[in-house]
Amino acid sequence: LSLKQRVFQAEIGEVEGIPFTKPMCSTWEQVWKFKARPEDLLIATYAKAGTTWTQEIVDMIQQNGDVEKCRRATTYRRHPFLEWSFQDSSAESYSGLELAEAMPSPRTIKTHLPVQLVPPSFWEQNCKIIYVARNAKDNLVSYYHFHRMNKGMPDPGTWEEFMEKFMTGKVLWGSWYDHVKGWWKAKDKHRILYLFYEDMKENPKQEIQKILKFLEKDVNQEVLNKILHNTSFEIMKENPMTNYTKEFQGIMDHSISPFMRKGVVGDWKNYFTVAQNKKFDEDYKKKMADTSLVFRTEL
């Protein structure tokens, strides 16, 4: 995709030093003043860390395993994407804020905001938050492909160039390093369930049970197995309500790279050269020296 073919949303501004799309910048003041309600659940992630997967698990739990109810709308419409707003020339528009405001409680809201930019009312209302983190290398590879297939994102440039942008935090929603560390710190002071994509892959049943407990919900074995099955990568890839084929038509090109791309741990090995890996690891060590947070890059 050439730069010219990209839609205007691909233009980038900044809020508090964090790169945002222009529409996000222009609605930021309202987003910051968002009125959370005590029973709101926030699903927070760095982009491409497993947001959609977690959203589906949460919805399946909330709907008590009722697959039909979960298919009432796309992921994008079921759970308002708080800071996202979008308007394209073909008159498709979206405002996470408006969607959230119009939604009856209990709401589940998605965000990619770094912790310091979460609207204060979420803390004031003591809302439950589920944060999902994914190891930097796989997160980077996934983000790269997402930029390639999504005209609403800035041009990623070459793989090498995108890696550089990722390492310096010059990508939408900012530095992965600051994001995962900031939320990790916050979990000691707030009701945050901090999960890892790698754990979810390794033992999805166990991680779903953690979410159930956090949400103070109970389901029988049959329902638990149903949730497990319907939130598997294979099923979600074929589900039009979760695979993003019904939204962003003309914006997302799944023939370049599908939204439900691979869904594995360790795909980074197919992209990093030995030299790139060395450079990345050295830089990673420095950036992550001040945290107890540990990631697995393979299972």
- What residue ranges bind ligand A3P (CB under 6 A)? 45, 47-53, 138, 142, 145, 231-233, 236, 260-263, 267
Nearer to ligand A3P, 261 or 287 (CB): 261
What lies within 8 Å, CB to CB, of 28 at 6+ separation is 15, 20, 83
What is the rounded distance in angstroms from the CA atom of residue 15 to the CA atom of residue 95? Answer: 18
Shortest approach of ligand A3P to residue 289 CB, angstroms?
A: 26
Residue 112 is among the residues annotated as catalytic for this protein: yes
Q: Smallest distance from the beta carbon of 281 to ligand A3P, in angstroms?
A: 20
* Shorter beta-carbon distance to ligand A3P: residue 125 or 232: 232
Q: DSSP letter at 74?
A: -
CB-nearer residue toward ligand A3P: 13 or 258: 258
What letter does residue 195 receive in the DSSP assignment? E
* Cα–Cα distance for residue pair 140/149, rounded to 1 Å: 14
Shortest gap between Cβ of 45 and ligand A3P (angstroms)? 5
Which contiguous run of DSSP H or E holds residue 41? strand 41-45
Distance CA 200, CA 132 (A): 10
Least gap, CB of 150 to ligand A3P (angstroms): 10
Q: Verify cis geometry, omega within 30 degrees of 0, for the bond prior to 258.
A: no
Q: Where are the alpha helices (DSSP H) in the chain?
A: 22-32, 51-62, 67-70, 75-78, 96-102, 120-124, 136-149, 159-167, 176-186, 197-202, 204-214, 221-230, 233-238, 274-287
Distance CA 170, CA 167 (A): 8
For the bound state, the minimum distance from the C-beta of residue 212 to ligand A3P, rounded and expressed in Å, comes to 17
CA distance 11 to 2: 14
Least distance in Å: CB of 4 to ligand A3P? 26
- Give every CB contact of residue 22 below 8 A, 6+ residues apart in sequence: 8, 9, 11, 12, 13
Asked if residue 36 lies in contact with residue 208, where contact means CB atoms within 8 angstroms, the answer is no
Comparison of 123 and 271: residue with beta carbon closer to ligand A3P: 271
**Residues annotated as part of the active site:** 112
